[in-house]
Amino acid sequence: MSVALVGAGPGDPDLLTLKAARLLAAADVVVHDALVGDGVLALIAESAERIDVGKRPGRGASQELISALLVELGRQGKRVVRLKGGDPFVFGRGGEEALALREAGLEFEAVPGITSSIAAPAAAGIPVTHRSVSPAFTVVTGHRRPGEPNIDWRSLAKVGGTIIILMGVAHRAAIAAELITGGLAPDTPVAAIQRATTDKQEVVRCNLADLGHAAVESPATIVVGAVAAFDLTAVGTLRANQAQQVIAAT
């Protein structure tokens, strides 16, 4: 394959797939996002060219430019790795890049990565589903570009199960208000996992009514629902007991 769309996982390099690690070690050029951690970047071959196209506040390469770059590098016959945080096809715009490569007649493959929508809650001791508590989970973006249709949060509140919000920190107050208007109780448990699976991980817990005022910083994965009361980590006994109370009440 001339281009590999590779998921870098949630941050911890130990959670990278073996295939991803092999591709990074053999790459001629790696085009990577801003959220890819240093531990993962350290696995790139020393001889490989690195191109940072990460989107940061106020700057960053457009998606059109990134897709064009991948096509150009692929046409040069280089072994190209497009390294994306999480999974390339979960809000990573990997689909757009795959379409551009296919239209250019280039061979490519997608290498899945562990998405933060599952890894972040797990790192905080939160199962996204749990028998008798949450039979399903919904993953949704909290960020929309101008001109894109808005998320119907009120309808989402009626779906049930766990709601996992990616890229929603900036709009968390409005999101919480819409979910409450849609029928979720103001005291619905919420957990926001910041910089998940890294040594800088922090978990902020609150209820839905207080989410807009909670001290949450990007990047963070926001979990809304009864399972957010869980803390099934080695030091999470108190919250685990609280979660058992949630189970007993259902």
Name the residues annotated as catalytic.
33, 55, 167
Q: Which ranges of 45-195 would DSSP assign to H, the alpha helix?
A: 63-75, 94-103, 116-123, 153-157, 172-181
209 exposed, middle or buried (CB, 10 Å; 0-12, 13-18, 19+)? middle
d(CA 107, CA 73): 12
CB atoms within 10 A of CB 15: 17
Residue type present at position 243: A
C-alpha dist (Å) from residue 85 to 11, 20, 115, 248? 8, 12, 8, 37
The two tokens of residue 248 are: 């007993």
CA distance 189 to 213: 14
Concatenate the DSSP letters of all residues of 183-237 into one string. Answer: T--TT-EEEEEESTTSTT-EEEEEEGGGGGGS---SSEEEEESGGGG---STT-H
**To 10 degrees, what angle do helices 63-75 and 94-103 make?**
40
